[in-house]
Amino acid sequence: MRQGIIQSSKMFLVANRLEGKKVESSIRYLSDMEAVFMDKVAFSALDPQQPVYEVDCYFPVADNKSGGLFFGLTRIFPGKVGGEFFMTKGHFHSNNDTAEFYWGIKGKGLLLFMDKTRKVWAEEMTEGSVHYIPGNTAHRVINTGVEMLSFGACWPSDAGHDYGSIEKEGFSARVVEKDGKLIIIEE
């Protein structure tokens, strides 16, 4: 297990038990997320090697196998591009109507949902919060706090990730801080 993910004591309890299991770790840097953020000028002033979030996934069965489950731990660094908070890329599932659970472990954020008609809504993510993401719904997590936001996830092993439409069209709402206040800008 990478050192970063076990720094938070609460994550450690889970991360420790993932030792020896089939875990894949990845980090998304600002350079991987240029299309995501609104303020291109602010983006270009930042270090492209700045990590935005890191994910450890436990895959007990083969990808795409039906009937299994996958498990993920994600940590989003605190930070902003212009006024816009660091967040995950967000995705639909390739197998469209598959659902997912997210739950807050540490820190403070927003889980943004968007259905196929581009209608958006949000739930606050805090320590211990539990979130059901229905099928056909894109999901993105935004760290609105000043510390690391850690959350867990569990999804069907045949769900798959579909990043395409979000990469192209984004979500229809953005979460930004303006004059010290959190605001949601809708399209």
Nearer to ligand G6P, 41 or 167 (CB): 167
Order of strands across the sheet with 130-133?
23-29, 51-58, 69-76, 149-156, 100-106, 130-133
Residue 55's binding partner out of ligand G6P, Fe ion, none, with CB under 5 to 8 Å set by partner kind: ligand G6P
Q: What gap in Å lies between CA 162 and CA 18, rounded to an integer? A: 26
Nearer to ligand G6P, 74 or 176 (CB): 74
Q: Are 12 and 19 in contact (CB under 8 A)?
A: no
Return residues touching ligand G6P (CB under 6 A). 55, 72, 74, 88-91, 100, 153, 155, 161
Site for Fe ion contains 100 (CB under 5 A)? yes
Q: Which stretch binds Fe ion (CB under 5 A): 38-46, 94-102, 113-121, 162-170?
A: 94-102
> To the nearest whole angstrom, how small is the minimum distance from the Cβ of residue 82 to ligand G6P?
20
Of 5, 93, 110, 102, the residue nearest 54 (C-alpha): 5
For the record, the structure tokens of 18 come out as 């993932």
Binders in 103-162 for Fe ion, by CB under 5 A: none
Residue 88's binding partner out of Fe ion, ligand G6P, none, with CB under 5 to 8 Å set by partner kind: ligand G6P
Nearer to ligand G6P, 43 or 102 (CB): 102
Q: What is the DSSP letter of 42?
A: H
> To the nearest whole angstrom, how small is the minimum distance from the Cβ of residue 50 to ligand G6P?
16
Q: What gap in Å lies between CA 162 and CA 139, rounded to an integer? A: 11
Q: What gap in Å lies between CA 102 and CA 100, rounded to an integer? A: 7
Residues in contact with Fe ion by CB under 5 A are: 100
